[in-house]
Copies of this chain bind each other. A is one copy, B any other.
Amino acid sequence: MLAGRIYHWLSPETATTPARLFRAAHHTLVGAGLVAVVSDTVEPMHAKAATALDIVFWVALAFFTIEYVLRLWTVSEAPWAPVSRPWIARWHWMRGSAAVIDLIALLPLVCLVAGMPEPMARILGAFWILKFGRYSEGMAMVGRVLRNARAPMESLFLAFLVVLLLAATLGYLAERDQPNTAFTSIPASLWWAVVTLTTTGYGDVVPQTVLGRFIAGMVMICGIAVFAFMAGILANSFAEEMHRRQFLRTWDLVARVPFFQSVGAATIAEVAKLLRPQEIPPGAIVARRGAAGDCMYFIASGEVAIEIEPQPIVLGAGQFFGEIALITGSRRSATVVARTRCELLLLDIADFRRLAAQQPDLARVIDEEARRRMGVAPQINVAAPTDG
């Protein structure tokens, strides 16, 4: 079915060629469109390349419009959608944040239709930058952190507003009788207060009286307290979210490594706390010959090649490497290169010691393998055995 196939192509998770082509075209057009929108506001650019910028803008806008229509139409083919009522699925999809971003991208079109003059409507194309965030996993995480911290952030914002209004009022009372003062009313004074409370300090409005300056000093100190408080809130929220995601991702990977499958869930939970997941693109160097060996790796998926002579050794999912450097304390004696996209689980030397103390059985298996490898591949000088 066509709709099903298009839905599949438009999904960010799909890895087939048409889906990749679509994403490449989408990202290119977002980038080009943004350049066009921004350049068009520069007078000399506009004079020189008006037609080219016009074409880019309209192509991008058309693309995003068609994309939105296609997504709306085909979402009824989603695996989670009820078969019988396609408009229910479409209505559910429209309220999601990704769909809202796709809708915002149509803002220039909407405004043009609503009668806004073209140059102005075109500037709203700057909102297309949000479409980059739509595909970013990291942005989703930033969003989750902010959402989890919503309650204390709201309280802090209320405190911010309270300080802001009181600062503006007191500043106004202190400064309003000065000649040529900019503190002509509380709203005017609010501008000074926000510039001061955020410690931005443009310097366009500055208190002149001793009392006004004392109030300004207090406001600045409150400003750094607000700052510091927000840092505290976000640091905590971020740490929680980070640990949760990392544990989750590591658990999924650990469960795929045969090496760990014999142990129970409780032990996996312990091990998953110590391992750190790492994604490696094909061709990248995982460990460089001669570098200090401060961690070992388990392969969750993909293949790596250990570049030793006469020919490289290839290791695959479920195997591990880099343990010899941890046991003997020597430097890496071979460069390890990813042959395919790999998911590795990194075990730091500090955590390796902790693991060895907590899980002696696991440690023994690693130790035996290391000994076997050192015996098998002694073609390199003894001081730095093959670091498999």
Q: Which residues of A contact B (CB under 8 A)?
A: 34, 37-38, 41-43, 75, 78-84, 88-89, 92-93, 95-96, 120, 123-124, 126-127, 129-130, 132-133, 136-139, 141-142, 145, 151-152, 154-156, 158-162, 165-166, 168-169, 172-173, 184-188, 191, 194-196, 198-204, 206, 210, 213, 216-217, 220-221, 223-239, 242-245, 247-248, 251, 264-266, 268-269, 285, 288-291, 309, 330-333, 335, 348-351, 353-354, 356-358, 380-381, 383-384
Contact = CB atoms under 8 A, between A and B. Distances in A.
Contacts of A82: 289, 309, 380
Contacts of A245: 350
Given A224-B227, A228-B231, 11 more contacts: A92-B288, A127-B166, A137-B155, A138-B156, A152-B242, A160-B221, A203-B204, A228-B234, A231-B234, A232-B235, A268-B357
A331 B201 CA distance: 47
B187 A158 contact: no
A311 to B, nearest CB: 14
A151 B138 contact: yes
Nearest to A235: B232
Contacts of A357: 264-266, 268-269
A258 B297 CA distance: 32
A79 B384 contact: yes
A227 B34 CA distance: 26
A235 to B, nearest CB: 3
A290 B81 contact: yes
Q: This chain: how many copies in the complex?
A: 4
21 contacts: A38-B165, A38-B187, A42-B187, A79-B381, A80-B330, A83-B381, A88-B289, A89-B290, A129-B161, A141-B155, A152-B238, A196-B200, A201-B202, A224-B227, A224-B230, A227-B227, A227-B228, A228-B233, A228-B234, A235-B235, A248-B349
Contacts of A137: 155
A72 to B, nearest CB: 13
B173 A155 contact: no
A323 to B, nearest CB: 16
B123 A173 contact: yes
Given A185-B41, A202-B201, A290 B93 contact: yes
Contacts of A213: 191
Given A349-B248, A357-B266, A43 B155 contact: no
Given A165-B34, A198-B199, A79 B331 contact: yes
B123 A136 contact: no
Contact of A133 (B132, B158, B330): B158
A93 B247 CA distance: 35
A138 B165 contact: no
Contact of A204 (B84, B206, B248, B381): B206
Contacts of A247: 350, 353-354
Contacts of A288: 92, 95-96
Contacts of A236: 232, 235, 238-239, 242
Contact of A290 (B92, B169, B198, B224): B92
Contacts of A285: 95
A345 to B, nearest CB: 15
B238 A269 contact: no
Among A223, A245, A353, which residue has the most Cβ atoms of chain B within 10 A?
A353
